[in-house]
Amino acid sequence: MVCHRWGMAVLGLFLASAALLAGGCTRASSNSEEVETRQLAIDYSGIKPDLTGKIQVDGSSTVYKISQLAAEEFASVAKNVEVSVGYVGTGGGFKSFPDPAKQLDICDASRPIQQNELDQCVKNGVKFLELPIGIDAITIVVSSKNDFLRDITLAELQKLWAPGANGNGEVTKWSQVRQGWPDQAVSLFGADSASGTFEYFNEAVQHDKKKTRSDYTANPNDNILIQGVERNQFALGYIPYAYYVPRKKSLRAVKIKLKDGDEGIEPTAQTIAGGGYHPFARPLFIYVNLKSLQRPEVEAFTRFYVENAAAIAANAGYIALDDSIYSKVRERLMKRELGTAFGGMLKEDMNLTTIMDVPVMYP
């Protein structure tokens, strides 16, 4: 009927114009909330545009941000190469890395390879290169609505995250951590057990990479952790630095005090690179399968990654290593020096200026 068509047309026009007017006009007068990203220079000259093939990268959700950016930049020149980057977690990445059926070319890792993973690689004859590409700082965050927690000592952190008899934490209220803090229930957020961040944090706080209380919200997706923390003024969480940076309005980084009476150190580019943000500044790695390196596209991508690591890591929100370190990394790649420098162990509080001084060993 005529009424039907008229009705629909009128309704549609009305709704559309109401919505667009409301939205468009209001928007025009407010400022755009774009996070500024420093665009450091990247050198694309080494990439041949006619490369083809597939590259699989997976592993740490921390390193994911860097690898994804590297893949994007690389693919903007090498248009016929398909680079896929996942974030299943450092543990998950190292599970797939030694398995030839999984075809994982590059494993992103926010901690060095551990002994059992190393044994698997040796068992399957998988040889690899360990290449540091940037620095992350595990950031302890609270909501900006939180008005009492500005700094915390390592001892308090340890107490807060320590497991009790049944696996749950012993601390249930903030007043139990420090006198003067409110008598409210603690709400904790952190990485899941497959995450390198998880192991590194527990190693640094509990001196045992698997030891933590289990009654906290664990999730491999850092965005979920962030949302949980920023909405609850009695929540605390630990996340990689690059996930904290865009959220400075709603999250606050807690200053770390080594012991009572110390000056609390806040994570900033200077404190992290200079070694002041202690013990949570840690190097980030990519582990490259030697056999994959024989493919020209993987070789080109890895070389591009390593040569531009400083710019890519910085653009992704992390901290770049020293230039001297990067030149040593490039040398390691060129010489195909296999193995790991850390002996399959997790050393928290690694000295970031000397990580390339220890020679790598492949058993």
Partner 1 sequence: MSDIAKIIAYRKRQDWLFSGLGLLCMAIGIATLIALLATLAYEGLPHLTWRFLTSNSSSIPERAGILTAIVGTLYVIAVTFVVAVPLGVAAAIYLEEYAGKNWLTNLIEINISNLAGVPSIIYGLTALSLFGVVFHLHRTVLVGGMTLALLVLPIIIVATREALRAIPSAIREAAYAAGATKWQTIWYHLLPYSLGGIATGTIIAMSRAIGETAPLLVIGAAGYISRLPPPPISSAPPFLSFAWLNSAFTVLPMQMYNWTADANPALQSRAATTGLVLIMLTLSINAAAIALRYRVRQKLKW
Partner 2 sequence: MSVAIEKQKIVRLRPRRASDSRARAIREVKEMTARLILAGSALFSIFTTLLIVGVLLYESSTFFAEVPLSRFLLATTWGPQYTPPQFGIWALVSATLVTTAIALLVALPIGTVVAVFLSEFAPFWVRETIKPSLELLSAVPTIVYGYFALAWVSPALQTFIPTLPGSNLLCAGLVMGIMIVPYISSLSEDAMRSVPMLLREGSYALGGNKLTTAWNVVIPSALSGIGAAYILGISRAIGETMIVAVAGGNIPKFTLNPLDEAQTITANIVTTSGGDPAHGTIEYQSLFAAGLALFVMTLAFNIFGYLLRRRYHQAY
Q: Tell me the one-letter amino acid at 354.
A: T
- Write out the two tokens for 311: 């710019």
Task: Output Rg (C-alpha) for the chain, integer angstroms.
Answer: 23
Of 219, 333, 220, 351, the closest CA to residue 276 belongs to 351
299 binds, among partner 2, partner 1, none (CB under 5 to 8 A by kind): none
Please identify which residue in 176, 232, 268, 353 interacts with partner 2, judged by CB under 8 A. Answer: 232
Greatest CA separation for the chain: 83
Please identify which residue in 105, 108, 136, 230 interacts with partner 2, judged by CB under 8 A. Answer: 230
Minimum separation from the CB atom of position 75 to partner 1 (A):
3
Residues 302-361 within binding reach of partner 2 (CB under 8 A): none
Q: For residues 174 and 243, which CB has a smaller minimum distance to partner 1 in the complex?
A: 243
Of 321, 327, 355, the closest CA to residue 341 belongs to 355
Residue in the structure block whose two tokens are 């030839």:
100
Q: What stretch of H or E contains 54?
A: strand 53-59
The backbone torsions φ and ψ at residue 252, rounded to the nearest 5 degrees and listed phi first, read -125, 135
Question: What are the CA-CA distances from residue 92 to residues 52, 65, 105, 221 (Å)?
Answer: 27, 17, 14, 14
Minimum separation from the CB atom of position 133 to partner 1 (A):
16
Site string for partner 2, 196-225 (x = CB under 8 A): ------------------xx-xxxxx--x-
Minimum separation from the CB atom of position 102 to partner 2 (A):
10
Q: For residues 68 and 271, which CB has a smaller minimum distance to partner 1 in the complex?
A: 68
- Euclidean distance between CA atoms 156 and 119, whole angstroms: 36
Minimum separation from the CB atom of position 329 to partner 2 (A):
29
Given a contact cutoff of 8 angstroms between Cβ atoms, the answer to whether 314 and 320 are in contact is yes
Minimum separation from the CB atom of position 235 to partner 1 (A):
15
Is residue 353 near partner 1 by the rule CB under 8 A?
no
Given a contact cutoff of 8 angstroms between Cβ atoms, the answer to whether 327 and 320 are in contact is no
Cβ neighbours for 6, distance < 8 A, ≥ 6 positions apart? none
Is residue 144 near partner 2 by the rule CB under 8 A?
no
Given a contact cutoff of 8 angstroms between Cβ atoms, the answer to whether 60 and 109 are in contact is yes
Site string for partner 1, 149-188 (x = CB under 8 A): ----------------------------------------
Is residue 71 near partner 1 by the rule CB under 8 A?
yes
Please identify which residue in 109, 191, 226, 235 interacts with partner 1, judged by CB under 8 A. Answer: 226
Please identify which residue in 316, 320, 333, 352 interacts with partner 1, judged by CB under 8 A. Answer: 316
| The total number of residues written for the chain in this structure | 363
Beta-bridge partner residues of 217: 189
| Total residues binding partner 1 (CB under 8 A) | 48
Helix/strand/coil for 269: helix
Given a contact cutoff of 8 angstroms between Cβ atoms, the answer to whether 92 and 119 are in contact is no
Minimum separation from the CB atom of position 342 to partner 2 (A):
25
- Euclidean distance between CA atoms 182 and 306, whole angstroms: 48
Minimum separation from the CB atom of position 19 to partner 2 (A):
12
| Total residues binding partner 2 (CB under 8 A) | 33
- Euclidean distance between CA atoms 174 and 102, whole angstroms: 45
Residue numbers of the site for partner 2 (CB under 8 A)? Answer: 1, 3-4, 6-8, 10-12, 15, 86, 88-89, 92, 95, 167-168, 192-194, 214-215, 217-221, 224, 227-228, 230-232
Residue numbers of the site for partner 1 (CB under 8 A)? Answer: 4-5, 8, 12, 15-16, 18-20, 22-24, 26-27, 32-35, 37, 58, 64-65, 68-69, 71-72, 74-75, 79-87, 221-224, 226-227, 243, 246-247, 315-316
